[in-house]
Chains A and B, each alone.
Chain A
Amino acid sequence: MISWDILGAWLSAAMVVWIYSFAYRDNLFYKLAEHMFVGAAAGYSIALALDSLNRVMIKPAITTPETFWTTSWHYVVPAILGVLMFAKYSRKYYWLARYAVAVNIAVGTGLALRTVPIANITRQITATIVPLWGSDPVTVLNNWLLVLITIGALTYFLFTIFPRRAEGARPSPLYYVYRTLYYIGIYGMMVGFGALFANTIMTRVGFLISIYLIYLQPQYWATIVAAILAAIAILLPLIRKK
């Protein structure tokens, strides 16, 4: 008899193959896998969110009401605000949803702003103040690059003040300094984007490898069957067209 575990493993292997089959061409099995994924993911997220609410608030409120109302009574406030979110479906009471959104945004903004100036501005600026001379040439080179590319990138985005070259006149030394930093900024950013692109490939390939190792290799028969089905689904419409 087929167990649920085997059926699940076969299904997961087939889903992976069908989702990846889109890389070749859109097909029936890709659409099936896509819809199943979206539906299952949405359902699972809602179930997990409700489970969290039940675990943290509803169940303790029912089973241990004394403890709940003395230690965790404040959970009721976000619960009410959460319920108010649904008011937007009512023509009459939709305005109530604004309070929930307002509190959510206000709390988020307040918490973030409390530390953003230090975490994201002051610390980042101080991190670029580094020694430009020293005994270790690699560190010195790195520090120079850090300082020059930071200033260069800032120069590139400095839209308000930049020395113009007057028609026919000889450019000022400031103009050359500006142009040099401008190009350092451009090339620095290009190197940064290159690293980002390389890391993107690394991550996507990493996903593919791990998915193969976790889902496809253990169920290779399911993989082969799913691949054949996807190939048929891709080729059949092409043959019909001809």
Chain B
Amino acid sequence: MSRSISLGKILESRELLYTLLLISVILPIIHPLGIPIAVSARTKAVYDYIENNLKPGCHVYFEIYYEVAARGELEPNVVALTKHLFDKGCKIVYGSLASFGVIVFELMKTTAADVFQGREYGKDYVFLGYVAGGESAAASLAKSIKGTVSVDNYGNRIENLPLMQEVDKATDFDLVIIASSGTDTFAYYVRQWYTPYNVPLLFAALSIIAPSIEPYVGAKQAVGMLVGQRAGAEYETLVGRLGLGMASMDAQSTSHMLVLVFIVIGNVVYWSQRLSSKRGGGK
């Protein structure tokens, strides 16, 4: 057995990779390395769009559609965007087409208590809660929020909330932000909010989702996209509130380095095995 094959055997054990991955994640969190991150052009473009196009008193609809496991990827984006919007004097209507949206919204509010401090519920922001119905619900909300839901997440009648007297349909909003861990949600809003009403959409997506929804951004059906934890960290830098996104960056860098090293080793072992079996006359 050649040396490359025995090395391959050791590297084949998934336990080794998982252990090294765990170490590469935990170590930089315990001892931060402080690797600097640059703000990408894509994140800066989103920041600039909000900065240049939204005026004080503007209205934003914010779809919260991600489960608890995806908090780390999307919550930094949601919190940083919320802070930016509040700082700009915008009013936000949150809603969720997923039942778990209620849980993650409350968790987000607890984590970002400082962002919501001084903001009055009903006047500066509203949470509609879970709106059942998927794409049909998205279409219905675009036509009329009051016609779709009669009470908010906390049981208050929609017509009694001051903010909801200012907005009702898709065209009343200056921007719609979709933070989602599923591909379909983005398609719902492109089909039911952007195409019929031409409302600007902004995406905050998991890294894994980004390639699937990139065509919407490329076709200018969305004004921009924030991709995963990295974009969250960049946006946190831009709005000056460092949080979960920034705290994760060192671990992201080291774990990616590890994966890159393993990809290189895997390729070297694969090619050396192939060469040695060719020389030996094997398959």
Residues of A at the B interface (CB closer than 8 Å) are 23-24, 44-45, 48-49, 52-53, 55-56, 59-60, 68, 71-72, 107-108, 111-112, 114-116, 118-120, 123-124, 126-127, 146, 192, 195-196, 199-214, 217
Number of interface residues of B (CB under 8 A): 60
Q: Check if B99 sits within 8 Å of A55, measured CB to CB.
A: no
Q: Check if A212 sits within 8 Å of B26, measured CB to CB.
A: yes
Q: Check if B191 sits within 8 Å of A115, measured CB to CB.
A: yes
A59-B191 Cα distance, complex, nearest whole Å: 32
Contact mask B5-35 → A, CB, 8 Å, 1/0? 0000000001100100110011001000000
B244 at interface, CB cutoff 8 A: yes
Within 8 Å by CB of A60, from B70, B134, B150, B229, lies B150
Q: Check if B256 sits within 8 Å of A52, measured CB to CB.
A: no
Q: Which 6 A-B pairs have the closest CB atoms?
A: A210-B72, A127-B219, A203-B208, A115-B195, A199-B207, A202-B207
On chain B, the residues within 8 Å of A192 by CB distance are 211
Q: Which DSSP category, helix, strand, loop or mixed, fits chain A's interface? A: helix
B226 at interface, CB cutoff 8 A: no
Q: Which DSSP category, helix, strand, loop or mixed, fits chain B's interface? A: helix
Q: Check if A203 sits within 8 Å of B228, measured CB to CB.
A: yes
A196-B206 Cα distance, complex, nearest whole Å: 11
B61 at interface, CB cutoff 8 A: no
On chain A, the residues within 8 Å of B14 by CB distance are 23
| B71 to chain A: closest residue by CB | A210
Check A199/B210 contact, CB under 8 A, given A126-B219, A205-B25: yes
Q: Check if B251 sits within 8 Å of A209, measured CB to CB.
A: yes
On chain B, the residues within 8 Å of A196 by CB distance are 208, 211
B192 at interface, CB cutoff 8 A: yes
On chain B, the residues within 8 Å of A146 by CB distance are 218
Check A52/B229 contact, CB under 8 A, given A200-B208, A207-B73, A212-B26: no
A210-B18 Cα distance, complex, nearest whole Å: 17
Which chain B residues (213-265) contact chain A, with CB distance < 8 Å? 215, 218-221, 227-230, 244, 247-248, 251-252, 255-256, 259
A-B contact pairs, 20 of them (CB 8 A): A23-B14, A44-B103, A45-B99, A52-B99, A53-B132, A108-B135, A115-B191, A115-B192, A119-B191, A126-B219, A127-B218, A127-B219, A146-B218, A199-B211, A201-B259, A203-B73, A209-B229, A209-B255, A210-B72, A210-B248
On chain A, the residues within 8 Å of B259 by CB distance are 201, 205
Within 8 Å by CB of A206, from B72, B132, B195, lies B72
B69 at interface, CB cutoff 8 A: yes
Q: Check if A56 sits within 8 Å of B221, measured CB to CB.
A: no
| A204 to chain B: closest residue by CB | B208
A44, A146, A201, A202: which has the most chain B beta carbons within 10 Å?
A: A202
Other contacts beyond A208-B25, A211-B69: 13, CB < 8 A:
A48-B102, A49-B99, A55-B153, A56-B150, A59-B155, A72-B150, A111-B135, A111-B136, A115-B195, A202-B207, A203-B207, A204-B208, A210-B75
B95 at interface, CB cutoff 8 A: no
On chain B, the residues within 8 Å of A24 by CB distance are 15, 18
On chain B, the residues within 8 Å of A195 by CB distance are 211
Within 8 Å by CB of A209, from B150, B207, B252, lies B252
B164 at interface, CB cutoff 8 A: no
Q: Check if A48 sits within 8 Å of B136, measured CB to CB.
A: no
A72-B151 Cα distance, complex, nearest whole Å: 11
B139 at interface, CB cutoff 8 A: yes
Q: Check if A118 sits within 8 Å of B248, measured CB to CB.
A: no
Q: Check if A111 sits within 8 Å of B132, measured CB to CB.
A: no
Q: Check if B136 sits within 8 Å of A55, measured CB to CB.
A: no
B200 at interface, CB cutoff 8 A: no
B266 at interface, CB cutoff 8 A: no
Q: Check if B208 sits within 8 Å of A124, measured CB to CB.
A: no
Q: Check if B229 sits within 8 Å of A210, measured CB to CB.
A: yes
On chain B, the residues within 8 Å of A205 by CB distance are 21, 25, 251-252, 255-256, 259
On chain A, the residues within 8 Å of B21 by CB distance are 205, 208
Check A207/B18 contact, CB under 8 A, given A123-B221, A127-B215, A213-B29: no
Q: Check if A210 sits within 8 Å of B26, measured CB to CB.
A: no
Which chain B residues (255-283) contact chain A, with CB distance < 8 Å? 255-256, 259
Distance of A122 from chain B, by nearest CB (Å): 9
On chain B, the residues within 8 Å of A52 by CB distance are 99, 129-132
On chain A, the residues within 8 Å of B192 by CB distance are 111, 115
| B190 to chain A: closest residue by CB | A119
